Amino acid sequence: MAQADSYNEDSIRTLDWKEHIRLRPGMYIGKLGDGSSADDGIYILIKEVVDNCIDEYVMGYGKKVVIKVKDTKVSIRDYGRGIPLGKMIDSVSKINTGAKYDSKAFKKSVGLNGVGTKAVNALSSTFKIEAYREGKVKSAVFRTGVLDEDLPIGDTEETNGTYVEFEADATVFKNYNFRFPFIEKMIWNYCYLNPGLAIYFNGNKFLSKNGLLDLLENNMDAEPLYPIIHLKGEDIEVAITHARQYGEEYYSFVNGQHTTQGGTHQNAFRAAYVKVVRDYFNKNYEAVDIRASIVAAIAVKVMEPVFESQTKTKLGSNEIEPEGKSMNAFVNDFLKEKLDNFLHKNPDVAESLEKKIKQSEKERKELSGIRKLAKDRAKKANLHNKKLRDCRVHLTDKKDERHLDTSIFITEGDSASGSITKSRNVNTQAVFSLKGKPLNSYGLTKKVVYENEEFNLVQAALDIEDGLESLRYNKVIIATDADVDGMHIRLLLLTFFLQFFPDLIRNGHVYILQTPLFRVRNKKETRYCYSEEERQDAMSNLGKNPEITRFKGLGEISPNEFKYFIGEDIRLEPVLINKEATVADLLEFYMGKNTPDRQKFIIENLKVIEADV
C-alpha cells in the first residue's frame, strides 16, 4: 500500500528538450556505439550538422563545406546564407524550430522534425555556433545543451555562412573514436548526390561531377562488363552495370539518406529492372540470372518519406506524393522509358548484357544439383544444435529494431566457443564454432561453398546464399586467438567473404573481436590490457608488483571474465576495404603466390614484442 501511495503529483515529471534528448538519445540518433560502426551516434552528429549545409546548397547558396576532425573535436563550416542572427540560438536549442516547415524546396528532405542540431547540442560537452550574415556575426557556446556564452552581434569579415564546432559528450559516448573511412564514405555520398558541391575534409577535397556514375566508377572492385548506364529523371537517378563478381550490389538513397538496408525503392528497382530486360529481349529469363553480378545505384526523392527504423536505413514508403503513384509504378515507368530507350540506342551494351545473363543461367544450372545436396547436408549436420548456438531474437520470424543489434561470433575450437557461449547475451548474440582451419578459397569458384562442409554451414548460418537481404545478424564477428594460427584463420575467413560475399564487408557487417592480451591486478583493482602500452600504464598505476597474466588464447579466458569483453564495453575493429584497393588486388596480394612485394611487406611490418611477465 505504501508503494501505491508514493505515486502522486510529485511522481510526474516534465523534461525540457535537452534532458529528454540526453535521457533517450536513441530516439534521436539511433544507437550510441564507440565509432566502430558507420551508423554509430558520433557519425550521426556530424551528419545532422552537414545535412543543414546540404540544404543550403540545394537552395542555391554555397558550393563549399569544410569539415575538420581532430581527436574528439569536430568543426563544420558552410558558405550558405547563415542562420538569421536573431533566431540562431533558438534554432539550436528549441525543438520544432527551423525553416523547413513551410518551404517547398525542403518537402523532399529527410529531417523535417526540427531536431537535428538540437540533438547535437544536447549530446555535446561543448557546442559552439557562429552565424555570419552581411558583415555581422552572432556567436554562442553551450555546455551539454545549456547556454554558457551568448555574445552580442558584432562585425565580421567572414563570408556568409554558418560555423559549428562540437565535442561529443564522453559520458554519453563512452570510449569513442572516429574512423575516418566512415566519415569519408559519408562525404563521398553527399558529393555523389549533389554534383558540383565541394567538401573539404581535413584538407582533402571531395567533389563529384557525374553523380551516381562516379559512385559506381569509384566503388567497383572489378572492371564493368559494359559501360555504366547512367539515367536521370525528375526525382530519380540510377546507374547500372554488371561485373565479374558474385551476388548483387546496390547503393540506394532517399532524399540524400543512404538506405543501407534498401527498402521499397530498391525492391521496386530490382523488380522493374527484370521486367524491362525481359521485355527488351522478349525472353522470360530468370530474375536471378538477370540480376546476378549486377552493380547498381538508385536515388529517389519523395515527399515525407516513411522509414522502417529510427536510423532511417530502410525505406517503407509505398506511395510517391503528390503524384499518387505507387513506388513500383514510379520506378517501373522510369526504367521502362529510359532503360529501354538506352538499350535500343546501344545494341553493343544490350549484347554484353544478354551474354552475361546466359552465362549466369549456365552457372546456376551447373550448381543447382550441388546446392540441393549442400542444403541436405546442412540439415543432416544439425547446424542449429552442433555448430550454431543461436540467439533468442531469431525465435520469431518478425523482424524489428532488435535485429539491428544481433551479432554472431565465429570462433575456432570448442574451448573458445564454450567460453563465449556461456558469457554471451543469449537474446542478441549467437556463436558459430569452426572445426579446424577453413580452406583457402582464393581463386576457387562458388562450387566450393557448397562442397566444403564448413563454408556451407557458415553460409547457412548467416543465410546469405541469395544475398544480404536475409542476413540474420547485423554484425559478423571473427573471434580468433591473437597468435599465428588465429591470424591465419582470420585471414582465411576474410578471403572466403571477400571471394564470394564481398557485400558483407562493403556494407560494414564484418568485425574482428579485440580481446585483452594481459590482465593486471592487485588486491583492489583489475585491469584488462589490449596492448603493451596499456599494460605498462596499468603496472604504473596499480602499485608495486601487481599480478600479471598473459592470455595466450580465448579458451584460457573464463566465462566470468569473457562477459566483460563482449558486453557493453566490447571492442570491435571493423573490417574496411581501402578505397584505393580492389577486392581482387587484396586477395592476390595476401592469398596469391609469394611475391617480392608481399615478402617486403611482412619484413617491414614484423613486430616482436617482449613482455616482461
Q: Quick one: 160 and 227 in the same domain? A: no
- Over residues 245-303, the pLDDT tens digits come to 888 889 999 988 888 888 899 999 999 999 999 999 999 999 999 999 999 999 998 88
The radius of gyration of the chain's CA atoms, rounded to the nearest angstrom, is 27
Please indicate, yes or no, if residue 11 is contained in any of the structural domains. no
Please indicate, yes or no, if residue 6 is contained in any of the structural domains. no
Q: At residue 491, what are phi and psi to the nearest 5 degrees?
A: -65, -40
Cβ atoms < 10 Å from Cβ of 143: 14
Are the C-beta atoms of 293 and 245 separated by less than 8 Å? yes
Average pLDDT over residues 493-519: 90
Are the C-beta atoms of 18 and 144 separated by less than 8 Å? yes
- Cα distance between residue 529 and residue 527, in whole Å: 6
Q: pLDDT value at position 107? A: 60
Q: pLDDT value at position 442? A: 87
Q: pLDDT value at position 508? A: 87
> In this model, does residue 308 exceed pLDDT 90?
no
User: DSSP character for 222?
Assistant: S
- Cα distance between residue 64 and residue 45, in whole Å: 19
Q: pLDDT value at position 450? A: 85
The whole-angstrom distance between residue 354's C-alpha and the CA centroid of its chain comes to 33
Please indicate, yes or no, if residue 12 is contained in any of the structural domains. no
Least confident residue range of 98-102, 120-124, 213-217, 366-370: 98-102
pLDDT grade for 395, boundaries at 50, 70 and 90: low
The residue ranking higher by pLDDT, 265 or 378, is: 265
Give per-residue burial for 499-518: e unless 16+ CB within 10 Å, then b.
bbbbbbbbbbbbbbbbbbbb
- Cα distance between residue 557 and residue 534, in whole Å: 18
Please indicate, yes or no, if residue 370 is contained in any of the structural domains. no
- Pairing type for strands 146-150 and 518-521 reads unpaired
Please indicate, yes or no, if residue 372 is contained in any of the structural domains. no
Q: Quick one: 178 and 190 in the same domain? A: yes
Q: Quick one: 105 and 221 in the same domain? A: no
* Block residue for cell numbers 526504367: 335
Distances (CA, A) of 289 to 33, 228, 248, 249, 321: 39, 19, 11, 14, 33
Q: pLDDT value at position 410? A: 94
Q: pLDDT value at position 112? A: 45
Average pLDDT over residues 168-177: 91
Cell of 231: 539515367
Query: In sequence order, what DSSP letters do the residues of 228-274 get, joined into one string?
Result: PEEEEETTEEEEEEEBSSSS-EEEEEETTEE-TT-BHHHHHHHHHHH
Cell of 403: 535485429
Q: Quick one: 148 and 168 in the same domain? A: yes
Q: pLDDT value at position 28? A: 81
Please indicate, yes or no, if residue 4 is contained in any of the structural domains. no
- Cα distance between residue 504 and residue 217, in whole Å: 20
Question: 336, 364, 392: which is the final residue of a domain?
Answer: 364
Average pLDDT over residues 512-516: 89
Task: Kindly give the interhelix angle for 583-591 and 484-500, rounded to the nearest 10 degrees.
Answer: 150
Give per-residue burial for 236-253: e unless 16+ CB within 10 Å, then b.
bbbbbbbbebbbbbbbbb
Q: pLDDT value at position 557? A: 82
Q: What is the CATH number of the domain that holds 462?
A: 3.40.50.670
Average pLDDT over residues 33-58: 91
Q: Quick one: 190 and 287 in the same domain? A: no
In single-letter form, the type of residue at position 112 comes to L
Query: In sequence order, what DSSP letters do the residues of 39-94 get, joined into one string?
Result: TSHHHHHHHHHHHHHHHHHHTT--SEEEEEEETTEEEEEE-SS---GGGHHHHTTS
Q: Quick one: 556 and 436 in the same domain? A: yes
Q: What is the CATH number of the domain that holds 74?
A: 3.30.565.10
Are the C-beta atoms of 412 and 480 separated by less than 8 Å? yes
Q: pLDDT value at position 517? A: 87
Are the C-beta atoms of 297 and 238 separated by less than 8 Å? yes
> In this model, does residue 556 exceed pLDDT 90?
no
Average pLDDT over residues 569-576: 89
Distances (CA, A) of 32 to 45, 75, 174, 259: 10, 20, 9, 19
Q: Quick one: 542 and 556 in the same domain? A: no
Nearest Cα residue to 77 out of 119, 132, 124, 115: 132
Question: 179, 206, 233: which is the final residue of a domain?
Answer: 206
Q: Quick one: 82 and 229 in the same domain? A: no
For the chain, the average pLDDT equals 85
Please indicate, yes or no, if residue 188 is contained in any of the structural domains. yes
> In this model, does residue 586 exceed pLDDT 80?
no
Question: 150, 172, 206: which is the final residue of a domain?
Answer: 206
Give per-residue burial for 328-344: e unless 16+ CB within 10 Å, then b.
bebbbebbeebbeebbe
Please indicate, yes or no, if residue 600 is contained in any of the structural domains. yes
pLDDT grade for 608, boundaries at 50, 70 and 90: very low
- Pairing type for strands 319-320 and 325-326 reads antiparallel
Q: pLDDT value at position 9? A: 59
* Block residue for cell numbers 596499480: 542
Q: pLDDT value at position 392? A: 87
Number of structural domains found in the chain: 4
User: DSSP character for 198?
Assistant: E
* Sheet strands (E) in 406-550: 407-412, 429-434, 475-479, 510-514, 518-521, 526-529, 547-550
> In this model, does residue 78 exceed pLDDT 70?
yes
> In this model, does residue 371 exceed pLDDT 90?
no
> In this model, does residue 610 exceed pLDDT 50?
no
Q: Quick one: 348 and 233 in the same domain? A: yes
Q: What is the pTM of this model?
A: 0.83
The percentage of residues in the chain with a pLDDT greater than 90, rounded to a whole number, is 46
> In this model, does residue 205 exceed pLDDT 80?
yes
Task: Give the range of the structural domain holding residue 324, as residue numbers without chain letter.
Answer: 212-364
Q: pLDDT value at position 401? A: 55
* Block residue for cell numbers 591486478: 521
The residue ranking higher by pLDDT, 391 or 114, is: 391
Tell whether omega for the bond before 574 is within 30 degrees of 0, i.e. cis: no
> In this model, does residue 99 exceed pLDDT 60?
no
Q: pLDDT value at position 207? A: 97
> In this model, does residue 1 exceed pLDDT 50?
no
Q: pLDDT value at position 612? A: 46
Q: Quick one: 120 and 63 in the same domain? A: yes
Cell of 103: 518551404
Q: Quick one: 224 and 359 in the same domain? A: yes
User: DSSP character for 430?
Assistant: E
Q: Quick one: 218 and 169 in the same domain? A: no
Are the C-beta atoms of 130 and 139 separated by less than 8 Å? yes
Query: In sequence order, what DSSP letters do the residues of 482-512 get, joined into one string?
Result: SSHHHHHHHHHHHHHHHHH-HHHHHTT-EEE
Average pLDDT over residues 3-7: 57
- Cα distance between residue 84 and residue 88, in whole Å: 6
Q: pLDDT value at position 561? A: 85
Q: pLDDT value at position 101? A: 46
Average pLDDT over residues 93-101: 63
Least confident residue range of 67-76, 81-90, 344-353: 81-90
Local structure of 550: helix, strand or coil: strand
